[in-house]
Amino acid sequence: MKGLFISFEGTDGSGKTSVIKEVERYLRLEGIDVVTTREPGGVSISEQVRNVIHDNNNTDMDAVCEALLYAAARRQHLVQKVVPLLKEGKVVLCDRYVDSSLAYQGYARGLGIDLVKGINDYATGGMYPDLTIYLDVRPEIGIQRIMTHTQTHEVNRMDNESIEFHKKTHEGYELLVKMFPERIKPVDGERTIKEVAIDAFKLIKEKINSVKNEQ
């Protein structure tokens, strides 16, 4: 596989989606062949699974069921979309991947990071991104941003989680940064989108250059 797989992670309200758009623009300006995707990423089967998870009526969904469904949607998106793009040599920017499940289902829901990692290692065949950019935003700031955001955006089942849950997802990510320091690079997400995007862009450029040097 010749492409580069990069995931973006962060708690709700971390600004991932806006930052990714900006990073994609910078990469394009450098002539880099980049594609942005997110689970379910327009893959019909994954979208159907995702609709079940996010349905506001499914309040009685079991946590293990939730973790398995995320992993199932992830698998389909990976094999149907991400792997073919990587084979074409693209730089793939993915808005959330396995670490979301580890932080949300593994840590915040309390299933255990190891258990959820096991489910996801099976689902992905152990395929991890070459680089994961974690947008670090303190819970109090993230929550403030969500409050503003929900006035203009649709609210799904995961958005309705409590402030406590939000804090836990942040703790979960902090643990993951310590567990996978080689892969997960934190970026201070409490600045302007441009400032955050420039830092993320630099990390990606470094990764592209180090991969080139290895070849």
Interface residue list for ligand TYD (CB under 6 A): 12, 16-17, 38-39, 70, 96, 100-101, 104-105, 158
Q: What is the CA radius of gyration of the chain?
A: 17
Integer angstrom CA distances of residue 38 from 57, 62, 140: 23, 24, 25
31 in the Ramachandran plot: left (φ > 0), alpha (ψ -120 to 50) or beta? left
What's the rounded Cα separation, in Å, for the pair 52 and 56?
Answer: 9
CB of 202 to ligand TYD, least distance (A): 23
CB of 86 to ligand TYD, least distance (A): 19
CB of 150 to ligand TYD, least distance (A): 11
CB of 158 to ligand TYD, least distance (A): 4
161/195 with CB nearer ligand TYD: 161
CB 82 within 8 A of CB 23: no
133/208 with CB nearer ligand TYD: 133
Pairing relationship of beta strands 34-38 and 4-10 according to DSSP bridges: unpaired
Question: What's the CA dihedral at 121, 127, 132, 134 to 10 degrees?
Answer: -20
97/208 with CB nearer ligand TYD: 97
Per DSSP, the three-state class of 38 is strand
17/148 with CB nearer ligand TYD: 17
145/205 with CB nearer ligand TYD: 145
Per DSSP, the three-state class of 37 is strand
CB of 130 to ligand TYD, least distance (A): 19
Q: Which residues contact 34 (CB under 8 A, 6 or more apart)?
A: 24, 27, 28, 90, 91, 92, 93
CB of 37 to ligand TYD, least distance (A): 11
Q: Which residue is nearest to ligand TYD (CB)?
A: 104
96/207 with CB nearer ligand TYD: 96
What's the rounded Cα separation, in Å, for the pair 73 and 70?
Answer: 5
